[in-house]
Structure 1
Amino acid sequence: MFGTIQSYFRLRYGRDKAYYRMLKTIFGLRPNNIELYKLALIHRSASLFLDDGAPINNERLEFLGDAVIESIVSDFLFIEFPEADEGFLSRLRSRIVRRSSLNRLAIEIGLDRYVIAQGGNGFAQKHLYGDTLEAMMGAVYLDKGYDFSNRLFINGILRKYVDLDDMSEQETDFKSRLIEWSQKNRKRLQFDSAPSASYTAKSPHFRTTVLVDGRPSGDGEGDSKKESEQRACQEAIRRLERLGESVLSEAAGGSDGE
């Protein structure tokens, strides 16, 4: 009871009332240690300095939050996609936790309005909102623990702002990924599709061969032309990946945080 009354007065009248309101509005939480969250909002471009020259900014919290978010997303995807293999889960996780995605999420939840930063350009500034989201999750983890952080990020962010159906569909659209890779690397791509020997009007069946620069690179069969093309492209991608071509990572925009 006393804790509830204390939180109410902090929210309405306390010195840090703006921070308490922000945390309640965006994350739906009442902090135990408000100083952690205040620190999480200070980007390194706006660092404060102690007498000994040590900087005060959110970099350490960002480091911690990065690991927390990756762990939460890994756990979430493992449960949501029980039949998916390791490659699919890794690529989908990469799409969710890369800097550009976290930057977008930070803006959508309204965190960008509270970031403390100095003007400037460059990669670090470009993704400062995503960096701040990582730092905030680091603060939540230290203040509330992993279980609370897990529930908050999954229910308050992932389920509200991430379209998993769309993302997973993109992950299984092997034809688009192969076309994107071939255009980027100036490869000539051909699809040779035809009804298979078992084709009938009542039970259609197709077979497709994918050719890369004139060389057969993948075969696939399916009950529709589209399905056979997807399977042929999937096989072609597997063969290309075994030869050292990074088809999936290139088509997904790489794994460098972009």
Structure 2
Amino acid sequence: MRRILKKILKKSPSSNQDGVFFEKISQILGFKPNTLKYYEKAFTHRSANKLDEKGNPISYERLEFLGDAMLGSVIAAHLYNKVPTGDEGYLTKMRSKIVSREHLNELGRDFKLVQFVESKVNPSHFGDNIHGNIFEAFIGAIYLDKGFEYCEKFIHEKIIKQYVNIERLEGKVISYKSLIIEWCQKEKKSFRFDVFEDNGKEGIKYFGVKLFIDEEVVSKARATSKKKAEETASKRAFFALQDLIEKKQ
């Protein structure tokens, strides 16, 4: 009897944790999961240094790859059926907007998935993209746990119905840099991004950028990464040249 009691006391903390995790995941899913280990893996950051029974590292990154494929296929099928007049270019562009990093980060935040992440990194040091990454991993976990039918249903019920508005997405710009480059190429205008380090007095590494079109500076920006600085400069250039750009679209 004493041995049995010891076993129960040993197991109770983890059992209670699993119970809380199970309930929270069930609420998000809208159905009960079969195997929690897939969801646990979906929230394991590589810094946790966990290994499976075969000695392979455990992290959400492989599930992220799988979830990306599941999302892409379900969204593609939805758009194909929803917009029968859309050509390949239109459908590709719309799918890109729905599964853009910005949109996936928004979904990850709305579902509050970061609360489940197991990591040795302080959460304040996570980049913005962790929200979208673990959201994709979560989709991958659903597929492994319940199969394609449940995965498709979750994407339709929780994402497409609540977040996908075709008319609004048609006017949404997901990359101002791509838009500016495309316009310059179409109009046969030269362009270049001059990027330089601009650290100032903040003690943080910054990058400055000047966007030249036909050898004239049309916008400037400053950010903590080259990519962000170029995107901000492109956005400013778009609004400065909006009338000209929209006339040609």
TM-score of the aligned structures, taking structure 2 as reference length: 0.61
What is the letter of the counterpart of residue 59 of structure 1? E
Distance 1:51 1:154, change over 3 A: closer
Of 145, 148, 162, the residue aligned with 1:146 is 148
Q: Does 1:119 align with 2:134?
A: no
Report % sequence identity.
Answer: 32
CA distance in structure 2 between the aligned counterparts of 1:21 and 1:130, rounded to whole angstroms: 22
Q: d(CA) in 2 for partners of 1:139 and 1:46?
A: 18
Letter in 1 for 2:33: P
Stretches of structure 2 lacking an aligned partner (at least 5 in a row): 1-14, 174-178, 185-190, 192-210, 216-242
Query: How many residues are treated as equivalent by the alignment?
Result: 179
Q: 1:45 is matched with which residue?
A: 47
1:149 is displaced (CA, Å) by 0.8
- Structure 1 residues not aligned, in runs of 5+: 1-12, 172-176, 189-225, 235-258
Tell me how far 1:105 sits from its aligned partner. Answer: 0.8
The equivalent position to 2:34 in structure 1, one of 19, 32, 35, is 32
Partner of 2:202: none
Q: CA deviation at 1:158?
A: 2.4
Superposition deviation, residue 46 in structure 1: 2.5
C-alpha change, 1:113 and 1:187, in structure 2 (3 Å) is farther
Counterpart position of 1:215? none
Looking at structure 2, the residues matched to 64 and 180 of structure 1 have their Cα atoms a distance apart, in angstroms, of 31
Residue 106, structure 1, aligned to residue 73, structure 2: no
Q: Deviations over 1:37-70 (max 9, x none)?
A: 1111112233313587531112221111111111
After superposition, residues 1-258 of structure 1 pair within 5 angstroms as 15-49=17-51, 54-117=56-119, 118-119=121-122, 125-170=127-172, 177=179, 181-182=183-184, 186=213, 233-234=248-249
Superposition deviation, residue 126 in structure 1: 3.3
Shift of 1:20: 1.4
Aligned residue type for 1:165: E
| 1:79 to 1:20, Cα distance in 2 relative to 1, 3 A | same
Query: Residue 84 of structure 1: CA displacement?
Result: 0.8
**Can you list the C-alpha shifts for 1:148-194, whole angstroms capped at 9, x where unaligned?**
111111211222134332111337xxxxx569945956259xxxxxx
Whole-Å separation in 2 of the counterparts to 1:38 and 1:153: 20
| Contact 2:44/2:59 (<8 A) preserved | yes
CA distance in structure 2 between the aligned counterparts of 1:34 and 1:119, rounded to whole angstroms: 24
Q: CA 1:96–1:185 in structure 2 vs 1: closer, same or farther (change >3 Å)? A: farther
Cα 1:152–1:178 change in 2 (3 A) is same
Flag the 1:52–1:153 CA change in 2: closer, same or farther, 3 A: closer
- What letter is aligned with 1:54? N
Structure 1 residue 112: Cα displacement: 2.3
Q: Is the 8 Å Cα contact of residues 95 and 101 (structure 1) preserved in structure 2?
A: yes
How many angstroms apart in 1 are the aligned matches of 2:214 and 2:139? Answer: 43
**Alpha-carbon separation, structure 2, partners of 1:66 and 1:25:** 22
Contact 2:108 2:131 in 1 (8 A): yes
* Aligned equivalents of 2:102, 2:248: Cα separation in 1: 28
- TM-score, with structure 1 as normaliser: 0.59
